[in-house]
Amino acid sequence: MAHGDVGLELGTRVAGALRRGLGLEVAPVDAVIRPSAREGVDYQCNAAMSLAKRVGKAPREVAQVIVDHLDSADMVEAPEVAGPGFINLRLRDEWLAARVGGLLGDARLGVPVVAEPRRFALDYSSPNVAKEMHIGHVRSTIIGDAVLRLLRFSGHEVTPHNHLGDWGTPFGMLIEHLLDEGHAVDAEISDLNRFYQEARRKFDADPGFVDRARARVVALQGGDEQTLTLWRALVDESTRHFQQVYAVLGIELAPADVYGESFYNPYLDTVIDELTEKGLTEISDGAVCVFPPGFTNREGEPLPLIVRKSDGGYGYAATDMATTRYWAIERGMTDLLYAVGTPQAQHFQMVFAASRQAGYLTDEQTAVHIGFGTILGEDGKTIRTRAGGSVKLAELLAEAVEQAAKTVAERSSLDADRQAEVARAVGIGAVKYADLSNDREKDYVFTWSRMLAKEGNTSVYLQYANARCQSVLRKAETAPGGDVLVTAPAERALMLRLLQLPAAIATAVEGYAPHKVTGYLYDLASTFTTFYDNCPILRADVAPEVRASRLVLTKVTSDALTLGLGLLGIEAPHEL
């Protein structure tokens, strides 16, 4: 099957009709096929309206030509022109049933592999050394992981890179503090935040310490052997902390994926030289700046991207210029993605613009800032602990599992070990799903009760729906198989929904928008619930062929829920 998307398949047929009837070449996507909520109609074709002007005919006339030339008797019932020129399409039951039947045992559930795979570099998670990962990093990690899974499943190549904040002036004070504490180089720092704050406190109070910290930064930048060893110890210790969080979250990022800020140091001089050679730099207040066109401040003055500070040091912007150069040129990536909060939107737009000017990015390459809003507490302000501190990710995740354990224990017949595993799947899943189910650009409010609700658009609801499917399949005691049949409207609705998975995934991939998958899964689970409530499966009075067909639908639904949740990094246990 060339593509699993029913809308596109109908689009291909409509394109054929337009070619035969009007000599028009139209791409299948431009046939404007949309799912329809109208009684008795599955899809609607809206192409006639947009094409009418182009061919100088009334929309209804164009629609009639499409209908007359549509070669689709195998797929749809007699199409109808309606209203100003819509075409109502209803899939034939036999076609629908056969198509859904074909999904049984198809690991991709009809989702095609892209014809032209691209090479993505994906910057995500990217916490800072010697600071505990806080809730602000949770979104980058969760969203980045989902985007990575979606792209890979679609057939693209994705190289993740963790842009660790591992360089800069704070390392002077951190290294001096490490020495003061008499830490062995491989010592464990149990509380990174406390370590950072203690160093900070000394820095603010003790001028002698400030002098030592300054000298230490110079030594670090100068490549002093002993200083580098201490620096490495701090980076390694932080990396160990981050790996623990990734393990709890089920995130694949490994130490080998770390391309921290320091990684780009050897490229910074080259970047400045190249920008200068191309005549893109200007000296402004002693700093080397690029002024990419189109960026101005409130007074309408051009905004600088500072690539070398007046003290000769390089900063965040220079390093990010080196990231586009490295991934696009040295590594030959076609698409550069950065999952970072929206406050950095302008930074990335300027880096991308300057990178195009510099020739680091060509017209065939894309660079996208996958921005996201912040997580708010129930008071509508940035989430804080009761003591007013920033919420630590590790603590938050532990609480999620604890809360989920209560939910699971309430109605579970599982033994204690299994219950603990399920609580993990439910708790971590809820944190991820709450994040992914919102349009990522928006802020969202973090509410335990809402994210762990058994009804509504939550992962728990989807996990319960899947567990119900699995329970039916277990009780059936026969492997699902045989023909799929349409015998009731709720079956038909479920079949239509199952066939929409490819379109949902395609839209999510296109917009780096995991919430398109969550929205689809929620609709699927709701449609399944209606089917389950209306169509008995295992009851003794159900005809054997109907029972077999409904078991296939149940199995494919479970497969779709499991696949969809899996693409979001969420587990789908068989029992809850």
Judged by CB under 6 A, does residue 128 bind ligand ARG?
yes
Helices and strands: H and E segment counts in the chain: 20, 13
Pairing of strands 335-339, 366-370: parallel
Stretch that binds ligand ARG, among 120-128, 150-158, 269-277, 535-543 (CB under 6 A): 120-128
Query: The tokens of 524 are what?
Result: 């699927």
* Shortest spacing between CB 382 and ligand ARG, in angstroms: 15
* Shortest spacing between CB 261 and ligand ARG, in angstroms: 8
Judged by CB under 6 A, does residue 126 bind ligand ARG?
yes
* Shortest spacing between CB 321 and ligand ARG, in angstroms: 10
Q: How many residues bind ligand ARG (CB under 6 A)?
A: 9
Q: Identify the residue among 42, 145, 320, 335 touching ligand ARG (CB under 6 A).
A: 320
What DSSP state is assigned to residue 388?
S
Stretch that binds ligand ARG, among 26-34, 122-130, 186-194, 556-564 (CB under 6 A): 122-130
Judged by CB under 6 A, does residue 165 bind ligand ARG?
yes
Footprint of ligand ARG on 204-233 (CB under 6 A): none
Stretch that binds ligand ARG, among 123-131, 239-247, 530-538, 547-555 (CB under 6 A): 123-131
Judged by CB under 6 A, does residue 44 bind ligand ARG?
no
Q: At what angle do helices 192-205 and 225-249 cross, to 10 degrees?
A: 140
Judged by CB under 6 A, does residue 323 bind ligand ARG?
yes
Q: Tokens 């003055």: give the residue.
A: 301
Q: Tokens 């679609």: give the residue.
A: 154
* Shortest spacing between CB 320 and ligand ARG, in angstroms: 5
Residue 575 · residue 513 · CB < 8 Å: no
In this complex, which beta carbon is closest to ligand ARG, that of residue 165 or of residue 502? 165
In this complex, which beta carbon is closest to ligand ARG, that of residue 345 or of residue 409? 345
Q: Strands, DSSP E only, in 52-171?
A: 80-82, 86-89, 119-123, 157-161
Angstrom distances, CA of residue 454 to CA of 411, 422, 423, 479, 559 = 12, 14, 14, 29, 20
324-363 footprint of ligand ARG as x/- string (CB under 6 A): --------------x-x-----------------------
Order of strands across the sheet that contains 119-123: 157-161, 119-123, 335-339, 366-370
23: left (phi over 0), alpha (psi -120 to 50) or beta: left
Q: Tokens 């499991």: give the residue.
A: 562
Residue 561 · residue 466 · CB < 8 Å: yes
Cα 316 to Cα 289: distance, rounded to the nearest angstrom: 13
Phi, psi of 39 (to 5 degrees): -55, 125
In this complex, which beta carbon is closest to ligand ARG, that of residue 123 or of residue 559? 123
* Shortest spacing between CB 495 and ligand ARG, in angstroms: 44
Judged by CB under 6 A, does residue 260 bind ligand ARG?
no
285: left (phi over 0), alpha (psi -120 to 50) or beta: left
Specify the DSSP element, H or E, that contains 199. Answer: helix 192-205
* Shortest spacing between CB 323 and ligand ARG, in angstroms: 5
* Shortest spacing between CB 92 and ligand ARG, in angstroms: 51
* Shortest spacing between CB 124 and ligand ARG, in angstroms: 8
Stretch that binds ligand ARG, among 121-129, 357-365, 382-390, 473-481 (CB under 6 A): 121-129
Phi, psi of 494 (to 5 degrees): -65, -40
In this complex, which beta carbon is closest to ligand ARG, that of residue 26 or of residue 317? 317
* Shortest spacing between CB 126 and ligand ARG, in angstroms: 4
183 contact partners, CB below 8 Å, separation of at least 6? 189, 233
Q: Identify the residue among 9, 42, 123, 435 touching ligand ARG (CB under 6 A).
A: 123
Judged by CB under 6 A, does residue 142 bind ligand ARG?
no
Pairing of strands 281-284, 287-290: antiparallel
In this complex, which beta carbon is closest to ligand ARG, that of residue 105 or of residue 389? 389
In this complex, which beta carbon is closest to ligand ARG, that of residue 137 or of residue 308? 137
Of the candidates 123, 118, 119, which has an alpha carbon nearest to the alpha carbon of residue 140? 123
For binding to ligand ARG (CB under 6 A), which residues are involved?
A: 123, 126, 128, 163, 165, 320, 323, 338, 340
